[in-house]
Amino acid sequence: MQDIDLLIINASQVCVIPGPSGPQRGHGLGELGLITNGAVAVHTGKIVAVAETANLQARYRAMKTIDAHSQAVIPGFVDPHTHIPWMGDRAAEFEQRIAGATYMEIMAADGGIMSTVRATRRATHDELVADNLPRLARMLQYGTTSAEAKTGYGLDKLAELKQLEAIYRLHQLQPVELTPTFLPAHAVPAEFHGRTEAYVQVVIEEMLPAGAVWAKEHDLTLFCDVFCEAGVFDVDQTRRILEHAAALGYKLKVHADEFVGLGGTKLAVALGATSADHLVHTPDEDIAALGAGHTVAVGLPGTPFGLAEGDYTPAKAILDAGGALALATDCNPGTCWCESMQMVMALACRYMKLTPAQALVAATRNAAYAIGRGDNIGSLEPGKQADILILDTADYRQLGYRFGTNLVHTVIKKGQIVLAPG
Ligand code: NIG
Ligand code: FE
């Protein structure tokens, strides 16, 4: 008998979400490695073993045992695309959009992202942290145990660094682990109106080096992301920013094809980006590139839903091409204020035609690869970090099928129970 910290027993289903090494690609998406009457053994924050209950009970003696009778057990959700932290809200723009204004029209009139930039620039570091902590607490309640967090509401050197500092502090203060992304090329700030190229030069010459110094001081690798979109940053500007970022040691991401398919996805693949995100209006040749490359395609179905638009990420075409597909919330105050990966799964099943099993893998294993953390999180394989959800349902398929109800019962992060009823 081996002594361990924690044993979860009698789970109706344990969804292991196994390899091959790397994300599940193409039509291989949706392999759950389902164990009925399953158990999970945890020690020193890691998964030690996953098997049927009788098997693990014969091998391990645990300090604490959780009986997960009639409950499914899955990996913690990984949300690989959020715009946390921000300040303020854009409820007035939501009303304008209901009345017929488009997102890009509001942005062109100095609203949209710029209105959140103004609020975020005004905030102190402490205000930014205090305002975003409850947001992360809600994400945890809905089962997200790791997330990406972007700058992009500073758009000048100091305000972008303030956002990085806030992400760092938020990571330290609560259980949801944050992977930081530097996004000074999220919009052209008002003071550079009509001078996009001048702003691109500032991003390249001042902001990227400042972010790289910050990353070195904090001993971490930063992602760099660009909003590659008609009327924002074109493909050539995106390429130049990302090439400079790569030379400074950043890993890469791209906001591509959200409104217009410019070629941002093909560029992401060519540059070896970790992920290309949104991918709503993605040209066929870019979809083919995803199938041949290593860049993970991140679908954000909360965004077209949030904008009340009809087009969603063409998941079938991406899977037919052999691409690796992940899901994320895009949590932001403009297009999609949604903290719940369960809601995202429900939308992906309906509008991207994923099965619940495919959506679950896209929201866990593949999402972890979309932030470069696939070796540590996103599945319940032995050796991985013990980030585990015990659900309030015996059948994992209720994720996707049901929506608007929180199906998470218990959240375990690095082997510790961080959220439980009562
Ligand atoms: O991913 N499109 C660019 N960025 C966000 C929206 C940010 C905002 O509107 O504040 C997005 O949809
Ligand atoms: Fe986004």
Whose CA is closest to atom 9 on ligand 1?
Answer: 334
Ligand 1 first shell, C-beta below 6 A: 83, 112-113, 116, 227, 255, 258, 303, 330, 332-335
Whose CA is closest to atom 12 on ligand 1?
Answer: 335
The domain over range 77-369 is classified in CATH as 3.20.20.140: yes
Residue 419 backbone dihedrals phi, psi, to 5 degrees: -155, 125
Share of the chain above pLDDT 70, in %: 100
Is 0.95 topped by the overall pTM?
yes
Mutate which of 332, 338, 344 for ligand 1 pocket (most atoms within 8 A of beta carbon): 332
pLDDT at 288 over 80: yes
Per-residue pLDDT at 368? 99
The domain over range 2-75+379-419 is classified in CATH as 3.30.465.10: no
Residue 404 — very low, low, confident or very high, per pLDDT cuts 50/70/90?
very high
The ligand that comes nearest to the alpha carbon of residue 303 is 1
Q: Yes or no: say if 170 and 139 are a contact pair by the CB < 8 Å rule.
A: no
Residue 89 backbone dihedrals phi, psi, to 5 degrees: -145, 170
Domain ranges of the chain: 2-75+379-419, 77-369
Whose CA is closest to atom 8 on ligand 1?
Answer: 334
CA of 226 to the centre of ligand 2 (A): 10
pLDDT per residue as tens digits for the range 177-233: 999 999 999 999 999 999 999 999 999 999 999 999 999 999 999 999 999 999 999
pLDDT at 422 over 80: no
Give me the half-sphere count of Cα atoms (radius 13 Å) on the Cβ side of residue 14: 25
pLDDT per residue as tens digits for the range 332-362: 999 999 999 999 999 999 999 999 999 999 9
The ligand that comes nearest to the alpha carbon of residue 79 is 2
CA of 278 to the centre of ligand 2 (A): 7
Whose CA is closest to atom 2 on ligand 1?
Answer: 227
Mutate which of 90, 186, 233 for ligand 1 pocket (most atoms within 8 A of beta carbon): 186
| Cα–Cα distance list, 38 to 56, 78, 313 (Å) | 9, 22, 34
pLDDT per residue as tens digits for the range 355-400: 999 999 999 999 999 999 999 999 999 999 999 999 999 999 999 9
- Per the prediction, the chain carries an average pLDDT of 97
pLDDT at 20 over 90: no
pLDDT at 55 over 90: yes
Residue ranges in 248-393 assigned as alpha helix (H): 264-270, 284-292, 302-306, 315-320, 341-351, 356-362, 365-370
